[in-house]
Structure 1
Amino acid sequence: MTVYSGPVFEMAVNQFNVIANYLEIPMDERDRLLMPKRAITVSCPIHKDDGTVAVFEGYRVQHHLTLGPTKGGTRFAPTVDIGEIGALAIWMSWKCALVGLPYGGAKGGVNVDLGRLSKRELEALSRRYMQEMIPFVGPHTDVMAPDMGTNEQVMAWFMDTYSMYQGQTVTEIVTGKPVSSGGTLGRREATGRGVAYLSKRVMKEAGICMGDATAVVQGFGNVGSYAALELYNAGVKIIAVSDHTGALHCATGLDVPALMKHTSIHGSIAGFSVELAFDPAAILLLPCTVLIPAAMERVIDREVAERLQCRILAEGANGPTTPDADVVLDHRKDEIFVIPDILCNSGGVVVSYFEWVQDLQQLFWEESEVTRREYEILDRAFTQMVARASADHVAHRTAAMAIGVEKVRAAKNTRGLFP
């Protein structure tokens, strides 16, 4: 029996089992590697603007603390449950280990429809959630970050709430903060920049000219928008984008800076253009050089994988591709180069690590230094993944996850089992 359930957690388990079989991990070691160390469920009551009290359920899952504190985002969304949060924490562990960060994985969230909250109510919920988490988090225990439905402002509220209870400012308790509150230059753009950087590396190695390339971005939030902007600035035509309000398609390329300006004002792509409106369900199947799913989990299933018309699949979201789709993509590996999520979107946690280090040292870097170090780490992990996949004749996802799982397993075996 387990408290974790649902399709997202089952997907994480299935992926791990593939890796465990590939690495020939003994059965009696597998649960210790897979199952999270700690799961917290809290009630978050707040006063609504109309004077009533509403209670929201919040979660935090810490997968392992073998390599250092846990690290992971906090999402506010109506789909959040303990199974989804558990899966995301597990994926974060493999991601951190793959890119060589001294972290275990964590994830948190609150089940809430943000469209029903005022800004004051959002602040109250953010502060109450952090207040409930104080016994379980800390700069050397669990460091929070933004995710879907949260942003720099929410992180500032988290940091302030924790600091008030400690009696001193503790900037290193969260990452993804505003620069004015101890954040780092380049953090907001980091995940999207990493997606674009790795996509450009694959195109360069494949001999694809940027000026001839096209890209489709599903999910025009923080990750998707900055990935689109980086590719646009490199000369790639962004022919389609989508978000929760709809989709836009232009064969000659969208004006990405203008679209980002529109979304910063209006909160979505809705209203940008009536003429360019497109079916959001069809956006993944458009012919393109680079396809970036940067929205939700499980959007590419077996049927979609069979119909993809991209040359590079750059997974900006966590878990966008199901295990059944992976089987199809493995058969199509000569047609589609997959950059798996645990590498492709790892730029965010890499720069979060830089932010944490800068906060601990109270010594801050220039943005050029942050970006240079991010790309160095991504390059190293990419090279290791491709070499492993080639040597063992396995899929890129298998190679990337195997590297991460091996590092966590080695650390656990070296430290032993206490008591």
Structure 2
Amino acid sequence: MKEVPESKVEAPITANANENPYEIVKSLLKNSVEALGLTEDVYRLLEKPIRVLEVSIPVRMDDGTIKNFTGYRSHHSDILGPAKGGIRFHPEVNIDEVKALSMWMSLKSAILGLPFGGGKGGVIVDPRELSQCELENLSRGYIRAITPIIGPEKDIPAPDVNTNPQIMGWMLDEYDRLRGYNVPGFITGKPIIVGGSQGRVEATGRGVVISIAEAAKKLNIPLESATAAIQGFGNVGSMTAKFLHELGVKIIAITDVKGGIYNENGIDIPSLRQHVAETKSVVDFPGAESFDSDKLFGLPVDFLVPAALENQITEKTAPQIQAKVVAEAANGPTTPEGDRILNEKGIFVIPDILCNSGGVTVSYFEWVQNNMGYYWKEEEVNTKLEEKMIYAFEDVHKMHEEKQVNMREAAYIVGVGRIAEAFQARGWINDWSMPFKCKA
């Protein structure tokens, strides 16, 4: 099996057949529209992406044969600005998943006050089965196929599951070849040498930890004596572990697709990251004992961080959870039934559309830097990210208290409210009472 360059291949996204992410997000949007007292028109404008493109991508394989791959790109909304969202390479990519992810991106941008709409893309492929040459040809072919609907003023892609800066570099080069000139703002998450931003690789994990730190303040949890368990040790999980460790949080358990590790006294995260770089898994780390991944959710920790799969906190796993805080570093890790159980248990949830929005925020910074042709130092990027994340957390928490709803409902209300305000400003809807003004 051939290795994907400079990237960890994420675990399969095993979705429960009864938990369609597109139907879940539509239900949450409808509830938010009703909570704000908006008209049915607002929901009708939000319930479907404005466009979804399905493309065929023929790739000549190393053995000379041609294989055809299917790709998608969804634009949920461009009311606040160009669509923004990642591209994932995964064998279980499907059109409903891509549509749902684009809708989540609309909400993330609105919550963070970014001038973006929501977009998402994906290709049905297991990148572990491709050589580097085949992977490059697929990446370039995808961009050629979707080029009519992308660009720095229309839709700005970025990395997602199983894609990385190298793949973004290939995609940037293909787009520039088609245009005949350099367009660095077309894509984000690219290598720094061709216009990428300092701090982008760490951004999602850093944002997760900023959200956790804010939640800890609200709940009076001292970080220096807190404990955590993390599901997933790809880019987001490993960066979350790194930054939590630096704050003094004791991480006692970590799992990945191959297994888990446990140390009640805390795992040495710098040593573990080196071990994973060499072995591609947390398994057999000498500083911890083997651990059954199924037991992770039942650990009595302060912070539980699902950073891997969708639909992991369900009616079966949610009753086991003893954590004070669930920080959703992954997209859609909690099913509606799992969410109901967490609410009944009084567990504080930092929802994915807030918790993992650090990546899109620094992608915004990258796009701004590309447009200016002037680039910031990493310290400045990190400072601006922290300001944005704290501001967004405070807005959502304030809504949580004012409306007496959980944090997920509060996040959706904030996001939907801001998008609806834009609908009104552009004249798309009329005759409704503005629930609050956008302060972003």
- 1:171 matched to 2:184? The reply is yes
Deviation at 1:21, TM superposition (A): 2.3
* Separation in 2, partners of 1:222, 1:33: 31
Change (3 A) 1:160 1:202: same
* Separation in 2, partners of 1:266, 1:47: 31
Contact 1:127 1:158 in 2 (8 A): yes
Equivalent position of 2:112 in the other structure: 99
Equivalent position of 1:265 in the other structure: 278
Equivalent position of 2:379 in the other structure: 368
**Matching residue's letter, 2:194:** S
Equivalent position of 1:377 in the other structure: 388
Contact 2:89 2:163 in 1 (8 A): yes
Contact 1:15 1:323 in 2 (8 A): no
Task: Name the structure where helix makes up a greater proportion of residues.
Answer: 1
Equivalent position of 1:327 in the other structure: 340
What TM-score comes out, normalization by structure 2 length? 0.90
* Separation in 2, partners of 1:397, 1:16: 11
- 1:67 matched to 2:87? The reply is no
Deviation at 1:417, TM superposition (A): 4.1
- Within a 5 Å distance, the mapping from 1:12-411 to structure 2 comes to 12-273=25-286, 276-333=289-346, 336-411=347-422
* Separation in 2, partners of 1:363, 1:351: 15
**SS of 1:63 mapped into structure 2:** strand
Change (3 A) 1:142 1:131: same
Deviation at 1:274, TM superposition (A): 9.9
* Separation in 2, partners of 1:275, 1:99: 38
Bigger CA drift: 35-44 or 245-254?
245-254
* Separation in 2, partners of 1:267, 1:125: 24
**Matching residue's letter, 1:174:** I
Deviation at 1:416, TM superposition (A): 2.6
Q: Percent identity?
A: 43
**Matching residue's letter, 2:301:** C
* Separation in 2, partners of 1:209, 1:390: 22
**Matching residue's letter, 1:150:** T
Deviation at 1:26, TM superposition (A): 2.3
Contact 2:325 2:348 in 1 (8 A): yes
Contact 1:6 1:83 in 2 (8 A): no
Alpha carbon RMSD of aligned pairs, Å?
A: 1.6
**Matching residue's letter, 1:110:** V
* Separation in 1, partners of 2:307, 2:37: 32
**Matching residue's letter, 1:406:** G
Deviation at 1:204, TM superposition (A): 3.3
**SS of 2:401 mapped into structure 1:** helix
Change (3 A) 1:321 1:215: same
Change (3 A) 1:178 1:56: same
**SS of 1:62 mapped into structure 2:** strand
* Separation in 2, partners of 1:383, 1:332: 23
Alignment deviations for residues 374-402 of structure 1 (CA, whole Å, 9 cap, x no partner): 11111111111111111111111111111
* Separation in 1, partners of 2:283, 2:182: 40
* Separation in 2, partners of 1:49, 1:314: 42
* Separation in 1, partners of 2:259, 2:60: 33
**Matching residue's letter, 1:133:** I
Deviation at 1:246, TM superposition (A): 1.6
Bigger CA drift: 91-100 or 247-256?
247-256
Deviation at 1:295, TM superposition (A): 0.9
Bigger CA drift: 202-211 or 340-349?
202-211
* Separation in 2, partners of 1:270, 1:148: 21
**Matching residue's letter, 1:301:** T
Contact 1:33 1:409 in 2 (8 A): no
Deviation at 1:6, TM superposition (A): 6.8
Deviation at 1:283, TM superposition (A): 1.4
Alignment deviations for residues 210-253 of structure 1 (CA, whole Å, 9 cap, x no partner): 23211111111111100100011111111111122221111111
**Matching residue's letter, 2:413:** A
* Separation in 1, partners of 2:265, 2:399: 38
The unaligned stretches of length 5 or more in structure 2 are 1-17, 430-440
Change (3 A) 1:197 1:28: closer
